[in-house]
Structure 1
């Protein structure tokens, strides 16, 4: 059993004095424990605080990693979107320029036909300082781009459907409008132009379309009719023979038949008509001005 008190004796040899101290065990132990508790507590507190700070830093670092990853992904997606949209706008601009060059007759079509292909302007997108604003702008531009893409596709289709090349090599022997009928001598309306040429010369489709007639048809003789869409139809009469059949799809410049004099004709030529929504149109309005008529 541990004693409750200890006696400490100190003696001075020079004087012979003796000093005696009695110390209680429990208070001494309490003081020692208190003295030890201070550094131990400080150490524990420091370690706990450091651990908490480290955990907080880890959480902040994790959040920053997630945010940085999100920003990187967002930036990459927005960069790709900008690049795709810019490429799309450049492509559409180029296609519009090409279509305009390849089809100078486009602007000469009646308004009712050209209305099927509305003109659209190319939007310009300015850079912004925030992802949200840029993302919103990109969404708006993407919708606009889809509208433009649809409009350009219609314009290209109308350009392909516009009959703007001569159907055969030769010379213009009869114009569109009123003239003296070559058989009766009376004044008569001629709904086409006649291009005289040697028998058997090729006749070309003047625009892309689908053959809706390839048969003999009264005064027209051997007739080919092509529907080009947008209400545009072309007819080629008095042919000697056919190079296409009903239902065939033909491209502009493709041979569809051969010059002849079948039907009500005074010589070898092509009777060439252009119809817009069922009404005839002077083909010369859509053909290039030239001294020598050449289909190629």
Structure 2
């Protein structure tokens, strides 16, 4: 193998002859340097990519850890809020139960129910086929069994008390209705009884005559009140009674209020017990301001005295 060297001066040319060893060395140099350079560059590039990959993985792991920590913190906060809410609810349920107990006992006293008729401290007798359990808002929350048992117990007590209050309210309504419809009391707010029920001397001619009611004397214009609730079946003039009001109270009872100076209710009106229905006067067959009061039971007059002094429990 020969190598020709040419200098800047064209007139000088040198020729080198290489043996086999020189050829091998030159080949190694010419081929090895690029290969080595390429290998080094490849290793550097690979190292850079690997470092980048590792850095990316570490960054992703750190991000995942941050997210998981946020989830744990959020779950802890939610659990804390839930526990606080449940504690508040538990306190509220207990206070409601105390109020219901106090209210029930007070209503029992106000109603003046007979002994043994109603006991608010006892669980009312109820029943029926088993249905679907009541869905409670706390059922979806994971809580300790003891806390769940407390809520269930308070829920049952509240349901019992509410049921008892409904029963008591119904009983009071029935009692109030019976009281309103029961004929009892005086038909006046001021005055005195001037004539009783039965035979008496007629004030106009002195002969014995049947008096089908009682008379209450007083000042002209004094209040005349209904002795029970009912419906007005007469309001106007009637022979012998003058201006009269008649009220049907149901259950066969009817009351009449005669000799009025003025009627304050009209036919068909619904009146309540104690409501003013007329003003005392002396209309009709009368000797002075008074109200003639009659009580009918099943179409026949009865002595009003037993109803005047009657009280309703």
Structure-2-length-normalised TM-score = 0.51
SS at match of 2:240: helix
SS at match of 2:185: coil
CA distance in 2, matches of 1:278, 1:137: 51
Q: 1:153 aligns with which of 157, 167, 173?
A: 173
The verdict on how the C-alpha distance between 1:231 and 1:68 changes in structure 2, with shifts beyond 3 A counting, is: farther
Q: 2:278 aligns with which of 226, 231, 256?
A: 256
CA distance in 2, matches of 1:69, 1:276: 66
8 Å Cα contact 1:243/1:256 also seen in 2 = yes
Q: 1:141 aligns with which of 161, 180, 190?
A: 161
Deviations 1:40-62 (A, max 9, x none): xxxxxxxxxxx9xx99x889958
CA distance in 1, matches of 2:232, 2:169: 28
Matched, 1:121 2:118: yes
CA distance in 2, matches of 1:80, 1:283: 51
CA distance in 1, matches of 2:168, 2:241: 42
5+ residue gaps, structure 1, are: 1-50, 101-106, 108-117, 290-296
8 Å Cα contact 2:280/2:290 also seen in 1 = no
The verdict on how the C-alpha distance between 1:63 and 1:170 changes in structure 2, with shifts beyond 3 A counting, is: closer
The verdict on how the C-alpha distance between 1:58 and 1:168 changes in structure 2, with shifts beyond 3 A counting, is: closer
After the TM superposition, list the runs of 4 or more consecutive aligned residues in structure 1 that deviate by more than 6 angstroms.
57-60
Corresponding residue of 2:306: 285
Deviations 1:158-182 (A, max 9, x none): 4445542342644433323x42473
State the 1:89 CA deviation.
1.7
Output aligned runs, 1:1-296, within 5 Å: 65=80, 68-69=83-84, 71-72=86-87, 74-93=89-108, 95-96=110-111, 120-124=117-121, 130-162=150-182, 163-167=184-188, 169-176=190-197, 178-180=198-200, 182=202, 185=207, 188=210, 190-197=211-218, 200-207=220-227, 209=229, 210-227=231-248, 233-246=254-267, 247=269, 249=271, 252=274, 254=276, 256-263=278-285, 265=286, 268-275=289-296, 280-288=301-309
Structure-1-length-normalised TM-score = 0.53
- Tell which has more relative contact order, 1 or 2 (C-alpha 8 A, sep 6+): 1
The verdict on how the C-alpha distance between 1:158 and 1:268 changes in structure 2, with shifts beyond 3 A counting, is: same
5+ residue gaps, structure 2, are: 1-64, 124-148
Which of 1 and 2 has greater Rg?
2
8 Å Cα contact 1:161/1:232 also seen in 2 = no
CA distance in 2, matches of 1:213, 1:119: 42
